[in-house]
Chains A and B, each alone.
Chain A
Amino acid sequence: MNKGQQKVLDWLKKDDKKPFKFQEEAWSYYAKGYSGLVNAPTGFGKTFSLFLAVVIEGINLANTKDKKKAKDRLQLIWITPLRSLAKDIARAMREVLTELELDWHVGVRNGDTTQAEKLQQKKSMPEVLLITPESLHLLLAQKGSSTLFETLKCIVADEWHELLGNKRGVLVELAISRIKGLQKAAKQQHLRVWGISATIGNIEEALDVIEPDLNAKRIIIKAKLNKKTIIKSILPDDIETMPWAGHLGLKLAYKLLPIIEKSKTTLIFINTRGQSEMWYQHLLNLEPELAGRIAIHHGSIDFELRNWIEDALHTGLLKAVIATSSLDLGVDFKPVDTVIQVGSPKGVARFLQRAGRSGHSPGETSKIYFLPTHALELVEAAAIKEAAKENNIESREPVIMVFDTLIQYLVTLAIGDGFDDKVIYEEVKNTHAFKMLLPQEWSWLMQFITSGGDSLTAYQEFKKVVKDEEDGLWKVKGRQIAMRHRLHIGTIVSDAMLKVKFLSGGYIGMVEEYFVSKLKVGDSFTLAGRILEFVHIKDMTVIVRKSKQKKAMSPSWLGGRLPLSSNLGTVLRKKYNEVLNKTHQEEELNAVYPIFLVQQERSHVPRNDELLVEIINNKEGFHLFAYPFEGRLVHEILAALVAYRLSKLIPITFSLAMNDYGFELLSDIEIPMDDAIAYEVFSPENLTEDITLSINSTEMARRKFRDIACISGLVFQGYPGKYVANRHLQSSAGLFFNVFSDFDKHNLLLRQAYDEVFYQQLEEPRLAAALHRIQQSTIVITHPKRFTPLSFPIKVDSLRANMSSEELEQRIERMKVEVFK
């Protein structure tokens, strides 16, 4: 046993604690120079498994070497996906360092860090730096940053499963590749890279992404600890009172009051920020006694307010907090003993993660209530219960070949100390995300940022990244370009946001510019649980005062809809069968049984080996509903495919809608459908070709391009409070999509938009499997007189796509302009 480890064990013993086995494993593998992944449930000291590993090494090295110069002290970079995590982790780390009498500093660097603190860090880095992926890239965008990492021993990506499945994970991969490269160039290779992840279906792959070098020493350390979770649904007294569609669920809100009352502290998870504001108001109306004892927490609430709420959670001041995914992760709020999930979490992993926010300490049990927002969600509740019981946890598919993120990264490096394209090409090629990158794609990317287009058209006036003749590195010389780029580093795309501030001073949070544009002076809206009156906009800030009104509208923030995971889809189909056969165990399914009877009476309840197609005609038009139960993403593609194949039969125009259970085609003329046509349009034959054509004729790729245009820097979204007005440079992603489609077909960003539809959304094997399953099934076509429990939620969905095989002019003739009367 070495000195450092002894010191840590002594310290733990003093508190009557001893390390978990997986923690000791992590310390020992780290000491032997391994990189890897720690897989442990929250609340079991996964932070200490790696933090202490680095600390032990630090204690052992402390006396063997002279004290380093102030400038190169950095030992550990700790990447967290959420800003709110950093503060608490830093606090815990500082406590440990004091106890162990190790003279290390812990610094936090993210969007909430003050300018003064950042400057201080630049002068002298702390030994431990807690940072978000975006801030890490901002660090790389600083002049002089390439010398910061020479003493760095370890990079830890905390909550790696949260970053893995999206472009933020690619930001982490690229930053690691650069830091490794810098150490290599300085002949200082001592970096080990570790991830900390909750259980996911593809844990091996998660390791390949964070440490892609197969020759490196790599290990996965699993904590063999069982976390007990109790799951309970909140059932309506009478299913007839439950709506057939909806996402809000206020009907059952009164049932939460006794739960909140008998718990110490309750976290209530709501799926969107807008709905969380409504829930807050509603709970206060139901029980005015709760005033001052409940709070609301989401990403658009001001930093200071969020801090206050988090502190109040720690100290147990609050009875309940209404939260969105902003409180999903990591931080240990000890007083929380109950969690309520409102509406479907859409995946088992997310549900269990949220459940884990209660009973956070080792040995305690997590308790989570599920509150359905509409009747059929009860079946989903039963499916989640079963999937959770069987630990049927989803995979997080890593993102690959995202040229937008790579372009952003290259410009980031060019703003910092500049880069050598040959060196960076090798580094990028060695990441998991870009291991398939071709030399010609690389040269296209280089031309895109240096000459503004392909080799055929070198534009003399294009100025972004230029070669520095002195050192031969690619750099950005324009201050404006550099400033604009810094403001939008990152891959989370949202609408332009404005800060909201009281007339008398004090920030409350942020709302989207679009929402503000609809406000008139004197209008009231809710934010952070307060009712505010709009006064005016000044310097890109929304000025408000307290409103006297009792009720007000809630802002809506743009956000994607979560699709049902495929794991859950399969279980869901099984549950439908069980209800039909009355072989089910769950009380949720008892409650929902009357709805099944209505479905059966009006149409049919599909069994596992059946596909139900409903044809409903009303004054709106001709509806075709189909229910494959494959999840929203697959249904979006499937709807386009079926619409495309039908539109080859006759000239026809469709409007498409979908949810996790099925999809709708709506037309103004009768839709051709019989048994023969049904099997044909759901056939797996010619699949690849037909999908390509159907995707091209809808707007799916165009929608994907919205994010791509922002991330790659084509469209500037602005930044809350730091909006740079430049009228002459305003444009939209849609415009760029048109321009590239018409004038620059080989643009890789355009290709990426289609690839994102194909590979990330389509999951072609999953679609093919679904179609094969349907071919083996009996297709049941019914003609209900009225909407059914299955069709109604899809019908009311307003997010729609279009598909047409008609002449535009003929369509226009039947249509009308909206007219002011």
Chain B
Amino acid sequence: MDRRKGLPSPADKVVTTMNIYKKKRIIILFLLPAVLGMAVFVYYPLIQSLWNSLFEWNLFSSDKSWVGLENYRSIFTDGNIWITLRNNVLYAVISVICQVLIAMVLAACLEEVFMRKFQPFFRTILFLPSLISMTVVAILWKAIFNPNTGLLNAFIHAIGFTDITPQWIGDANIAIFCCIFISQWQGMGYCMLLDLIGIQKIPAELYEAARIDGAGTVKRFFYITLPMGKESMLVTSLIIVIGSFKLFTEIQVLTGGGPGRATEVLATAMYRAAFTNDKMGLGSAYAILIFVITMILSLIQLKVSRSGQE
């Protein structure tokens, strides 16, 4: 009937839809907005930053003088770069330990039968900090770290250590750990929640079978939870390590890179070069350095994780 009337049958419709995917022009049309967006907002600034890093220039003057790789040389001959890189690496390592490993352990604990009753309570408590803006978190902890009036030293004194008064963010040796700590305080709950969802997706039969075979809590964690959650942990650690090299807010608000340059990281060094010291070329060179480091790390992690499918 349909054919006689010249109307397409349902089978024809499928064929027509399939044909759309075969037409190159249609494919290009659909891809164009995304490709254009990437080109304008990602690749163009990237290339421009690379080009800019080869000049000495500032924002308020049109003069640009070619200096070649001089900006890169000055980054690596400045004694502070190694402290800066050490701080970024410290942040990455501690963040992976806390937000990938410890968060997974926490999630597994909350998923245990005896904790199920309290799970919503702990989930909320641990997740709440990640809803607060990092600037607010940093200001809050600045008050807590205040060695004279802050809660932390008051607590230390209250439990009997009256002769210990750490300077926290005022002490060059401790300050970076304070900055790293507040990030973990904020980020762990979020990662734990992601892990919790991951664990809940693991088929219950696996745990049941393990239990029948006599596996205890610890064994179930190592032989089921960890292998099954490996993929999501790799993705989380990828995001965390890349984020570690873009670290800015915590440091800028809490210590401004001080005391001295003890808590400087790549992004604060970039900001200082570009906007405080009016060296946009040097700032661009720092940006390229951050890009190269994060790019290499991303490639390594994708290679190691084999897939990156999830």
A and B: interacting chains: no
Residues of chain A at the chain B interface (Cβ within 8 Å)? none
